[in-house]
Every structure is written in C-alpha cells, then in structure tokens.
Amino acid sequence: MAFITPGLPIKTTFDVIIRNNFITKNNHENFGAPGSIVSGIPPGTGILVMAADDVIIENNIISGNDNAGIIITDFANGGAEASNDPDSEPNPDRISILDNFMINNGNNPVGELKALMMTQLSTTGPDILAIGGGEGSSIRDKERYRTWGLSSFGTPAISSTADTKTFLLDEPAEARAISKKDLGEMTYYGICSGCHAFDIRLIGVPTNIIQMIYKDNPQGIVDYINDPKNLRDDYPEMPPQDYLSEDAKLAVAEYILALKK
Ligand code: HEC
C-alpha cells in the first residue's frame, strides 16, 4: 500500500517506488482493526495506491489477487470519505506503472468493484483499476493488461527506475517517542473517526454527545469500548476496541473528552 491515512500528523505520501516484488494471492480475509481505514481494503487486492503522489510501480509479479492486481484511488472511492482530512490532497497524482508481469487477477471481485464490473457485464475484476480523481498518471504498454478507468493515463517519461537515485539509511531511524496526547490523537483519527465525527452523525454517535455522557469520566469510555453494549435502537452495535493497549485506550478517552471542534 502507498497511501495517506486521513487525520495522521503526516499529510502526504510521495516519491514511492514499489519494485521487484512478488505480489501473489493476497486473498487473506482482512484482519485490520474493526473500523480502521485499512480494515476497509477489499481482500484480494494486490497493490493499493490511495491519494499518494509520484508512485512508480515496476517489475513486480502480480498474480492471483482475486479482487484486482493494482487499485489506484482517491479518498472518496477508497472508503476514507468519512474521515477525509482537509489538510491532505485527496487524489493520487503522477502514478507511473512501468513493466510488470500481471496474470490471473480479479477472479472474484468483491464489494464495490464487483458492482462496478457487473455494470460492464463482467464478473472478473481487472489487473489494474483507477477510480476517482488524480492527474498526470501513466502506464507502459497498457494493452498488455486488463484495465479499467485508465483512459487518461499517458506514456511514462521513463522506462525504468535504474537511474533514479535512492539511498538506505546506515542506521535504522530511532523510534519516535509518542506523547500521551499524540497517542490519543492518532488512535482517535486512525480508528474512532472512521465512525465518530465531532458534531454530525456518522456510523456512531457524535463525539460531542460522548463528551456530555462521559464528562470527567475517561475510565467510563475505556470500559465501554472494551465491551460495548448496543444502547440505541437507531444505531448498530459498536465493535469492541479491546485489542488496543491500555495506554492507547486511556489516551484516546482523554483525547475525546478534551476535543474541541
Ligand atoms: C465501526 C464503527 C465504530 C468505531 C470504529 C468506533 N465506534 Fe464508538 N460507537 C459506534 C456506534 C455504532 C455507537 C453507538 C452504539 C449504540 O448506541 O448502540 C458507538 C458509541 C460509542 C460511545 C457511546 C457509548 C454510550 O455510553 O453512549 C463511545 C464512548 C464510543 N463509541 C467510543 C469509541 C471510541 C473511543 C472509539 C475508538 C477507539 C470508537 N468508539 C470507535 C461505532 C464505532
């Protein structure tokens, strides 16, 4: 995946090369944390590019991915609409697909892609799907692949990344120290905001309602998210968030209670 997670402190993803990989049979059921952005990625997706810019995909063997080999999408079509981040540009721009070997992808598309293919009277997903906004993208030898939505793709300026400068860090970068507030913020925007917005109804109740119910009681929020009960007839049940660390649960509870619009 090369993508931006809405709401995180880093607002961009760019200058990515995905090359020389085997990307085969990526068909495991999605085990992302319930409600998180990554949990929305359809199983059977080989490579996903969402909202990232200047991504080059080169010399990969991409096969047996039941949904699609490569999906290039903006936030809105990538399922991130609910928690769109106004500080992130939502479109994937200047994606270059160079030579890749792609075979046997899209045998069993799911969800929206399946619906999209049905409108084309096809039950098979494409090797490469581009959907939503974005400009300046390109592909070599498009007719080698089964594609959908690539009509605006031009011809790449380069045929290989051999002359592209890359470097490795001598030492691994030091782990970032994360403050309690940052941990709360990242947990909130990375997970909770998939269903909770500040003062509008998404899937869950608005955050300002949670503030009223749990004023001065962060532990009450922790207890609820460990073992949520279905309290309201007009809302679905909330999935338990008990996989989070104890630190993250308390941090997000305190973050929510302090949040201002
Ligand atoms: C997949 C969607 C989803 C995610 C993700 C989610 N929630 Fe919820 N949440 C809900 C729904 C739906 C309700 C309303 C449940 C009801 O009233 O029956 C709810 C209700 C709540 C409530 C209100 C409980 C009460 O007493 O009324 C709290 C507090 C809460 N969520 C906290 C969180 C926190 C913190 C996170 C992130 C760690 C989170 N939620 C993530 C869907 C979600």
Mutate to test the pocket of ligand 1, among 83, 183, 238, 255 (most ligand atoms within 8 A of CB): 238
pLDDT per position as a tens digit, 205-227: 999 999 999 999 999 999 999 99
Nearest CA to ligand 1 atom 29: 221
Mutate to test the pocket of ligand 1, among 196, 200, 213, 217 (most ligand atoms within 8 A of CB): 196
pLDDT per position as a tens digit, 168-194: 878 888 888 899 999 999 999 888 988
Share of the chain above pLDDT 70, in %: 97
Boundaries of every domain in the chain: 2-148, 180-258
Q: DSSP label at 155? A: -
Q: What kind of fold does domain 180-258 have according to CATH?
A: Cytochrome Bc1 Complex; Chain D, domain 2 (1.10.760)
Average pLDDT score, the chain: 91
Nearest CA to ligand 1 atom 19: 204
Report whether residue 191 contacts ligand 1, using a CB cutoff of 6 Å. Answer: yes
- Strand-pairing partners, residue 71, are 48, 129
- Token reading at 21: 């990989």
Whether 123 shows a pLDDT value over 90: the answer reads: no
Using a 10 angstrom Cβ sphere, with 0-12 exposed, 13-18 middle and 19 or more buried, the burial of residue 67 is buried
Report whether residue 235 contacts ligand 1, using a CB cutoff of 6 Å. Answer: yes
- Token reading at 47: 């490579």
pTM of the model: 0.65
